Amino acid sequence: MIFCSVENGIISIGFRKITSFVRTIFPDIEVCHVTPSNLYSRIDAFVNFGNTKNDMSNNDIKAVASYLAKADMICFSSMTPFADLTKKLLKNIHEINKNIFTVWGGIHPSVYPEDAIKSVDAICIGEGESAFKEFILAYKNGNDYLNTRNFWFNNKNNVIKNSFRKLQQPNVMENFPYPLYAENEMIYKKKQGFVPLTNDEYISLTGISYHTILAIGCPLSVLIVPILFFQKTIHFIENFDILPLIILLVKLNRF
């Protein structure tokens, strides 16, 4: 199983949350990053006038797809600016491996599920941790997974739209692992393919900072905020102890 983020960098907070969580169930999942541009690159900012490059050459798309197609399941995460690139990758992956199961999560499937579901076997909408756990355990054990809430399924061109789960409560979220950080990640490099993510690459793509999240949702009912399908809810992780996280980061020696 491979998880792949398609974004203009590797901050990918939601992606890091879900991959860290899934590794508590399946420690051997592969985590990959496809970065058509670098949000922190001064060169990109100058050459592209601050615009995000959200596409890749056909050769790069084929190289990425060839690597990802080796999996039995590929789980993409991307925002809408990278939706078209994600679709191109999926098209090439399906051409190489017709039996691969494809899942798409992140902001784009949540705000435009009718578009995303056309390209994959399943999309995850809204909060993904508990939903993905329910889905993947049923899938791996050969049980019926088509009624998993927070998921839509494209089952032989018949779209199954399941309802939402109840929002995850603070006492549940407090037991989630910290977002994945510098732990056996791969990144696609032009003319090199997927290579391990090094210290220098990490700093180049994120700056000297650690990005995390302490709250999920939004207290406002405004359409400009896409999180969780505009549910008028915000829930915080209570009693968040940051000291163990700082100790973990120091031990990893990323800087």
pLDDT tens string, the chain, 255 residues long: the values are 999 999 988 888 889 999 999 999 999 999 999 999 876 655 555 555 555 678 899 999 999 999 999 999 999 999 999 999 999 999 999 999 999 999 999 999 999 999 999 999 999 998 899 999 999 999 999 999 999 999 999 998 899 999 999 888 888 888 888 888 878 999 999 989 999 998 888 877 776 666 766 666 554 444 444 433 434 444 444 555 556 656 665 665 544
> Do residues 149 and 175 make contact, with C-beta atoms less than 8 angstroms apart?
no
> In total, how many domains does the chain have?
1
Strands 122-124 and 101-105 come out as parallel
On whether residue 223 sits in a domain, the answer given is no
On whether residue 216 sits in a domain, the answer given is no
On whether residue 85 sits in a domain, the answer given is yes
CATH code for the domain in which residue 44 is found: 3.40.50
On whether residue 243 sits in a domain, the answer given is no
On whether residue 12 sits in a domain, the answer given is yes
Contacts by 189-197, CB closer than 8 A, 24 or more apart = 190/60, 193/63, 193/67, 194/32, 194/64, 194/67, 197/10, 197/33
pLDDT at 47: 57
179: containing domain = 2-210
Q: Cα separation of 105 and 178, whole Å? A: 19
Nearest alpha carbon to residue 21 among 131, 109, 120, 122 = 131
On whether residue 237 sits in a domain, the answer given is no
Evaluate the CA torsion angle 14, 217, 148, 177 in order and state its sign: positive
> Do residues 250 and 240 make contact, with C-beta atoms less than 8 angstroms apart?
no
On whether residue 69 sits in a domain, the answer given is yes
On whether residue 18 sits in a domain, the answer given is yes
Q: pTM for the whole thing?
A: 0.81
